[in-house]
Structure 1
Amino acid sequence: MPEGRVAGAGSLDLRLSRDDRAGGGVAAKRGTGGQDQRGRRAAPAGGRQAPRQPAKRRGSFLGRLAYAGIVLGLWAVIGVAGLVAYHASQLPPIDQLAVPKRPPNIAILASDGSLLANRGETGGRVVGIKELPPYLPRAFVAIEDRRFYGHLGVDPVGIARAITQNLTRRGVAQGGSTLTQQLAKNLFLTPERSASRKIQEAILALWLEHKYAKDEILELYLNRVYFGAGAYGVEAAAQRYFGKPAKSVSLAEAAMLGGLVQAPSRLAPNRNLPAAQARAAQVLAAMQELGFAKPQDVKVALAQPARPAGSRGGGSANYVADLVMDVLDDYVPKFDTDIVVQTTVDTGLQAAAEKALVDELNTKGGRYNVGQGALVSMRPDGAIRALIGGRDYAQSQFNRATTAKRQPGSSFKPFVYLAAVERGATPDTVREDAPIRIGNWQPENYSHQYEGAVSLRQALALSLNTVAVRLGQEVGPKAVVQTAQRLGITSPLQANGSIALGTSEVTPLEMVGAYGAFANGGTGVIPYVVASVKSVDGKPLYKRGEGGLGRVIDPNAVGMMNAMMHETFVSGTARKGDIAGWDLAGKTGTSQDFRDAWFIGYSGSLVTGVWLGNDDGEPTKKASGGNLPVEIWKTYMSVALKGQAPVPLPGMNRWRRAPETTASVASAGGPVGGLLGTLLGEPQPAPQPRQAPAQRPRGPSQDDRNFLEKLFGLGE
């Protein structure tokens, strides 16, 4: 019999329902119409009751889900708190945090207050946000952190947007860092890319937002962010790329600067202008969208995009700045804030000097195989007005004006003549221009010609080597060295016979400084470029007072030297350098094998020296003091002296040679002088009586003609 059946029970179902079982509850009472009290239809009489479905417990599931979420959230908060606490522990204590001082900037100004260059680690001074046009800081907010004024240092919306765009673009397209986070990274952290660093960045950003107002944070950012090319801060970037202060940039330039910080190397306008302009257009669009710039202004900026300023003549002002940095410690040993250095340099003269030198080298440097040059120009008191250390600073930062030591050749002879004058000689003293031998050394004149008995005035003007060597032997090489040193030459000098011909190496700055004593009447000169130093708030830190070496030449000797060196412009090797209306004096110089070409000349108000040659000492193709250097000197000095009242050379009038016609000047030089008169087609008075060597040639020989060519084209 089947289980659960009772015999004879017929169809009676004796199985217990769920509600009939113990603990199953009480059976529902039946109601009318075959329904129970809950409205459910009762099972048919005498039939099997339909099995009931278990009730769904929706509330319990959602509750458990919510509970699990809360638990997980709490654990997440604990985990995040632990991570934050751990990474915060790697930072200095919050109460000890402080914004690091920005490395000081050295602003180097010309004599008129205009900026020559910035030096220091940052490349520019600190600027206040109120100094800037409003659209400049807004450009950074628009492109880097448009919710800058609304978040607390970390922007969850920006992070979510960056993640979304990065995922949709299948690559890293955006970063989620706020300006505050970027500042925190720049101030406190390394450039490392890691989750740990991002957490520390966020912690520090929150601290910055708590510590500083929004505009203070933005100002810190604008002065610390890197713009490429060694420029840290918006002032340095504006000067570097546009040649102007940040307060003067246009809307287009501000947009370019704002876009630059994303990738300074790739977007630098002086390296990749199309990319920089495209990025600037994005910045302008963002500024217009946010209401930071008017549509019409944006339209103009897009039509006239920013362009980097061209290199201003190769950047020769940097040679001045380098000199300033070399000597600054002598004036201001220590400083930890921005300082301003006022120099003696005149921007107009600096530009004129650079143009004269570069144009001459570009035009004739190849023909004469001259690769480099230097120029120094100073007032007779030693204040440097222009200094060019090379052909192109961008190509070579070596400062040839201050550092290159080269043989001065015949431009050293004035020290020999001065030593002789101080021992009784005068411009009219006569010496023999004839072959001379000192041991195994037999110096010769440039022309290989000899003039016989000549005055010292004429011998210096024509740069006769044998006379200079004779004078050097008379006074002694040691006296020549002492005379040069007394006038300011500091390089080591060899006291030997060849010192009279300038075989010991010196710098252009030394030579020009030494000639200053002739121009100022006999006071020794110490060349200087720094006039004053102030803190950024105007506090004086240094001001140049009276200086110099005191009197180093007797006034009468100064007059004689000026008269002799004036003759160089009248009948000597610098004739082509003469400037009408001015009393000028100077001396050319050419070293052995034409390796160096010099000319140092002066008026009563300005002393200027020019050196040309090659850095490796390779001989030039007959470049000498009388050609290229004199041409550069005249081009520059014509600009420098323009508009000034002529200044007499100290003491020269007493010893000035009596005025003569061109022919008489020419005739005064023996066969060479006679040749000048013949070729110039002017009458020649009878030559003055003087001792003449035997068998003097009666007419101009080919050698004489060669010498004339050298004298007015290639000669010293």
Structure 2
Amino acid sequence: MARSDIRRSAPQGGPKPAKQPPTGARKWFRRLFVWGFAIALLAAMALGVAVALAAQSLPSFEQMKSNQAGQMIVVRARDGTELVSLGPSYGKWLSYKDIPPVMRDAMVSVEDRRFRSHFGIDPIGLARAGYVALTTGKGLRATSTITQQLARTVFLNNNRTLGRKLREGILAMALEWKYSKDDILELYLNKVYFGGGAYGVDAASRKFFGHPGSEITLPEAAIIAGLVKAPSHYSPTADADAAVGRAGVVLGLMEQNGAITPADAAAVDFSKIKFASEKGQNSVRYFTDWALPQLDLLLGENTEPIEVWTTLDVGMQKAATDAIQKNVPGGAQGALVSMDRDGAVLAMVGGTDYVTSNYNRAVNAVRQPGSAWKLFVYLAALEGGYTPNDKVVDEPVTIDGWSPRNSGGTYAGEIDVRTAFAYSKNTVAASLGNEVGFSAVAGMARRFGITTPISTVPSMVLGSNEVRLIDMTRAFASVSAKGQAVEPYGITKIQTTDGRVLYERQQKPGAMLVPAYVAAGITDLLQSAVSIGTGRAAQIGRPVAGKTGTTTSNKDGWFLGFSSGVTTGVWMGRDDDKPVPGLQGGSAPARAFAAYMTVAVRGRPVEKFETEVTLPAWQIEPDDEANLSGNPEDYYYVDEQGNLVDPNRQTPGQDGQDPGKTAPEPAVLPPAANDDFLDQATGRSKPEPAPKAKTDPATKAKPGAL
């Protein structure tokens, strides 16, 4: 054998080569893996213990069936009369086998398609939602399973906090531990909220289709399953088209998941669905729909049965409903808001029929106010120095290329401010708005509670900006309150059914929006508009102040006014913004105002308006320049020698000074300019110095005396 072969041969039974120690990176990776595995194992054990404990504490299936969710709310009028009782409505409990398979399949398809395979939470859904959030930059979307929704419905609330989601996940796994999938689905379908106060498929079926839940068909199941995502939005009673559109999505998901065949989906005809007619509900629901959402702000989280005492007056509400229904033009809608002098909403009508349309036009619709907007133009003019008796000229005017015209196309020439307002002269309003500044008019509107966007183009003085009826009514109520801010409110007290008070409104005075003389001046103008102007149809046999509003092509008609401490706003028009023949603010809206106010002020004393305009002394100076300089108490002056004079300087008898005592000598101020400077500046010759004469020191003149 060659020597080289002998060298390469390893000796039999010799020592093995030493093992290389691990590198630093491998060492840290190994430690990280070990610690991570240990922590994960401990977390899994802790989670298992938590789920086991939660499962042991869960009630029995029979107890779960009797545990109903929802809060009962009794709404009362200002006199204690029960207006409406709101709360959960439960139908007959349906066992799993009594729930139609199409209903079960529809709910699983749209809410939790992996319901049969997960353990309470859906890891695949969570992973997918996390991936979508990372790749799109959007927030993490909700991925609650049916079991999680059941846990939230029965045991938790809807707060979107991490702690609540963790508890929800643990309870969901506990439910899966203790109950079967069929039990969980039975509980869910009998407890989930479908809108309109209906809890469970039987209550929903009876409410929307008029028959028991055991008779639900495929298209009906698709509609009901689609409600869970947004009960109020997809409710058939509120928007049948939206409900049917959502049901189409549900059918698509059912077909995708194999619950129905394409032929089954194609055979569905939603036009044959007959929705149950809803029981009559009066216009009180417009008010409760506006007031009750405020409970979240006044109470926060609360689930116990409560009574809500409101400002609504039952008699006034009936009068308001009758006034709108009897005066609104055919094919049009009407709305009314009425407030007491402190902002308490006495009546609210959001449309002609709540069942047909629960859209609240009194607080949600935005429409052009027409000449009713002139309230803010004339408020700004009065604050700027005008009085109701001042002369203005009604003549053609052009502002930045815009030429407004009066109704009828005629011009009256020189008239006073009162007449221009009473007869709603557009050219005068345009000239005044241009003079005081369109931004000043916009600022006045904001000051009086207008919350919608305001454009300062010249046409804004004639009401081109869209507003809400409740905001305009609030503005007129602030005028009625002599310039003090008024804030609408509808809830005075909240208490539990056993009488424990949870909230009670504390009345606070509002800020002064304009001086008293401005409020008196605009009240003078508003009273004239009803007495001799465009609002004569609103007269009720006692002092009324108000303003009409009519928009282009008679699309909107407004009347807003007040009497005896009650302020009421009326709007009429079509929802599609089409013209309404003959509709003007001084016609149907003014008549509805008068019909309502005749009832509303009955029993209240007749109140005369304070229209005496007493201007501050600084505003009635004959010198026009004084009118432009503002309040002199806010400024300093110079005397004949050019010396600064403080008008607030103390004089004898002020600040506790005894009038009988001699006031201290005022400080001697140096002249603003000496004679040499004046001679040089004006070029006048310097007089020869007079011969010096001897004077008695006691009679020597003081510096600066003439």
TM-score normalized with structure 1 length: 0.53
Query: Given the superposition, is the C-alpha separation of residues 327 and 452 from structure 1 closer, same or farther in structure 2, using an over 3 Å criterion?
Result: same
Are residue 326 (structure 1) and residue 293 (structure 2) matched? yes
The code of the aligned residue for 1:357 comes to I
In the other structure, the counterpart of 2:59 is: 97
User: CA separation of 1:485/1:123 partners in 2, compared to 1, >3 Å: closer, same or farther?
Assistant: farther
Please report how far the alpha carbon of residue 549 of structure 1 lies from its aligned counterpart in structure 2 after TM superposition.
3.6
Change in Cα spacing, 1:102 to 1:425, as seen in structure 2 (3 Å) is: same
Cα distance change of structure 1 residues 537 and 231 upon mapping to structure 2, 3 Å threshold: farther
Compared with structure 1, are the counterparts of its residues 262 and 653 closer, same or farther at alpha carbon in structure 2 (3 Å cutoff)? farther
Q: Which residue of 2 is the match for residue 578 of structure 1?
A: 539
**2:564·2:604 contact (CA, 8 Å) conserved in 1?**
no
Describe the SS at the equivalent of 2:528.
Answer: helix
Q: Deviations over 1:283-303 (max 9, x none)?
A: xxxxxxxxxxxxxxxxxxxxx
Q: Any runs of at least 4 consecutive aligned residues in structure 1 with deviations exceeding 6 A, and if so which? A: 89-92, 195-202, 224-229, 259-266
- State the one-letter code of the partner of 2:581: K
1:356 matched residue in structure 2 = 323
Partner secondary structure for residue 330 of structure 2: helix
- How far off is 1:642 after superposition? 1.9
Match of 2:330 in 1: 365
The CA deviation at 1:115 is: 2.5
C-alpha separation in 2, matches of 1:336 and 1:311: 28
**Relative to 1, partners in 2 of residues 1:201 and 1:453: Cα closer, same or farther, differing over 3 Å?**
closer
1:696 maps to what in 2? none
- Tell me the amino acid that sits aligned with residue 578 of structure 2: E
CA deviation map 1:644-671 (0-9, x unaligned): 221222x22569xxxxxxxxxxxxxxxx
> What residue is the counterpart of 2:449 in the other structure?
488
Provide structure 2 residue ranges, at least 5 long, that are not aligned to the other structure.
1-50, 99-152, 156-171, 173-178, 221-236, 238-276, 615-706
How far apart are the structure 2 equivalents of 1:459 and 1:482? 22
Cα deviation, residue 531, structure 1? 1.3
Partner of 1:400: 361
Q: How many Å apart are 1:96 and its aligned residue?
A: 2.7
Match of 2:557 among 597, 600, 603: 597
Partner SS state of residue 75, structure 2: strand
Number of equivalent positions: 425
Structure number, greater radius of gyration:
1
Residues 514, 201 of structure 1: alpha-carbon distance in 2 compared, 3 angstrom cutoff: closer
Match in the other structure for 1:29 = none
Pairing partner for 1:461 from 422, 431, 434: 422
Q: 1:357 to 1:200 in 2, by over 3 A?
A: closer
Q: CA deviation at 1:330?
A: 2.0
Q: Assess, with a 3 A threshold, how the Cα gap between structure 1 residues 420 and 501 changes in structure 2: closer, same or farther.
A: same
1:410 to 2:410 alignment: no
| TM-fit CA distance, 1:477 | 0.4
1:647 alignment counterpart? 607
1:447 is the counterpart of 2:408: yes
RMSD of aligned C-alpha atoms? 4.2
- Per-residue CA distance 1:172-206 (angstroms, 9 max, x = gap): xxxxxxxxxxxxxx989x9xxxx97888999x9xx
Equivalent residues of 2:278, 2:355 under 8 A apart: no
1:607 and 2:567 are equivalent in the alignment: yes
State the partner residue of 2:280: 311
Task: For residues 394-422 of structure 1, give each alpha carbon's deviation from its aligned partner in whole angstroms, at most 9, with x where no partner exists.
Answer: 11121111111111110010111111111
CA apart distance, 1:311: 2.3
Aligned residue for 2:77? Answer: 110
Structure 1 gaps of 5+ residues are: 1-88, 125-139, 145-152, 154-158, 163-185, 205-220, 242-256, 272-307, 656-716
* Equivalent residues of 1:103, 1:337 under 8 A apart: no
Report the Cα offset of residue 340 of structure 1: 2.1
The answer to whether the Cα contact below 8 Å between 1:407 and 1:505 also exists between their aligned partners in 2 is yes
- Residue identity matched to 2:569: G
Q: TM-score, normalised by structure 2?
A: 0.54
Once residues 336 and 316 of structure 2 are traced to their aligned partners in structure 1, the CA distance between those partners, rounded to angstroms, is: 11
Q: 1:342 aligns with which of 284, 309, 315?
A: 309
| Correspondence 1:57-76 to 2 at 5 A | none
Distance verdict in 2 for CA 1:340–1:264, change over 3 Å: farther
Aligned in 2, Cα 1:197/1:515: closer, same or farther, shift over 3 Å? same
Tell me the SS of whatever aligns to 2:572.
Answer: strand
Q: Does the residue aligned with 1:652 lie in a helix, a strand or coil?
A: coil
Alignment of 1:193-592 (within 5 A): 230-231=197-198, 311-312=280-281, 315-361=282-328, 364-366=329-331, 371-547=332-508, 549-580=510-541, 582-592=542-552
Contact kept in structure 1, 2:69 and 2:154, CA below 8 Å:
no
* 1:501 to partner: Cα distance: 0.7
Map 1:161-180 to 2 at 5 A. none
Matched residue of 1:509: which SS? helix
Write the deviation string for residues 429-488 of structure 1: whole angstroms up to 9, x where unpaired. Answer: 110001111122110011211111111111111011011111101100011111111111
Report the Cα offset of residue 503 of structure 1: 0.9
Q: CA deviation at 1:608?
A: 0.3
Inter-CA distance 508–229: structure 2 relative to 1 (3 Å threshold): closer
When residues 260 and 351 of structure 1 are mapped into structure 2, their CA distance, relative to the original with a 3 A threshold, is farther
1:225 CA drift (Å): 12
Give the C-alpha shift of residue 498 in structure 1: 1.4
Contact 1:226 1:232 in 2 (8 A): yes
Aligned-residue offset at 1:535: 2.8
Deviations 1:58-91 (A, max 9, x none): xxxxxxxxxxxxxxxxxxxxxxxxxxxxxxx999
